[in-house]
Structure 1
């Protein structure tokens, strides 16, 4: 399989994945959770935060920042996968964008003083985001393994074979 054929297979896999019911479910869940979290933090969350003492308020601010950071990284990953599958991004552009997304640094943080005061609604949003984070990490690993398995080996021999194949195609035409 030439490098071009391997790349085409990767694109086809990504297109099939992003067109799948599994991806659509995760995408809708992720985007819905972003919207739900924004609505909570801008509305009832503000009222909940006012009822906390100083330690609780710091814990609330820290956890809400962790939550929004996690959700923005997850939303970025989901949107990137959708753009790749739709052919809106080249593989080079996608690779550049992927380096901006960090799924490993957005998990559960260390327990905080005052964390026992956090509102139940915030805690539920945090838990849901952590579950989504785990699923997205698994999908990311799966996609990376698939892409690596299909990508051409970076060696002088594979480059020569691709060049020879191109020459034969040109000679036949």
Structure 2
């Protein structure tokens, strides 16, 4: 039988440090200042591709960091379990790149984008494997309501 992954503050801290380093690489890679003034009109498609992928990649990393910050706050006692379950889910990474646009990007940027996708996929697997409540199970609020109804009925 599949055993849920255990998540603890050390794992969250290590992932958080990795996410911050990766986000810093993303910021450096997608900084457009200085490059726009020197670009000619023939590079418009490349600039659009770089901007689009930069937005997708930055959003992916900010979602990952927010997820990790929620876990840190929960482990530090700054938010309770209800708040954690309400805001602690990692959204699926649904934004895929257009292959035609990706072909216009430098190989180093394509590799960085792939690294962020891999990191996010790891977080998604961790998020889905350790959460005990599945789609068929009642939410904490529904369980509380059932308990109240049982106590009032007896």
2:74 touches 2:84 (CA, 8 Å); kept in 1?
yes
Query: Aligned to 1:23, which of 12, 31, 45?
Result: 12
1:18 touches 1:82 (CA, 8 Å); kept in 2?
no
Q: 1:59 to 1:35 in 2, by over 3 A?
A: same
Instruction: Determine helix, strand or coil for the equivalent of 1:53.
Output: helix
Larger radius of gyration: 1
Query: Aligned to 1:63, which of 48, 53, 71?
Result: 53
Query: Aligned to 2:120, which of 133, 136, 145?
Result: 133
4+ residue runs over 4 A deviation? none
TM-score by length of 2: 0.72
Q: 1:147 to 1:156 in 2, by over 3 A?
A: closer
The alignment status of 1:32 with 2:24, answered yes or no, reads no
TM-score by length of 1: 0.65
Q: Output aligned runs, 1:87-98, within 5 Å.
A: 87-98=77-88
User: Any unmatched runs of 5+ in structure 2?
Assistant: 1-5
Q: How many residues align?
A: 143
2:71 touches 2:88 (CA, 8 Å); kept in 1?
no
Measure, in 2, the Cα distance between the counterparts of 1:29 and 1:18.
Answer: 16
Distance apart, 1:56 and its partner CA: 1.5
Measure, in 2, the Cα distance between the counterparts of 1:125 and 1:56.
Answer: 17
1:30 touches 1:71 (CA, 8 Å); kept in 2?
yes
Instruction: Determine helix, strand or coil for the equivalent of 2:7.
Output: helix
1:73 touches 1:103 (CA, 8 Å); kept in 2?
no
Q: Which stretch has the larger CA shift, 134-143 or 34-43?
A: 34-43
The alignment status of 1:78 with 2:68, answered yes or no, reads yes
User: Any unmatched runs of 5+ in structure 1?
Assistant: 1-15, 165-173
Measure, in 2, the Cα distance between the counterparts of 1:74 and 1:46.
Answer: 29
1:80 touches 1:94 (CA, 8 Å); kept in 2?
yes
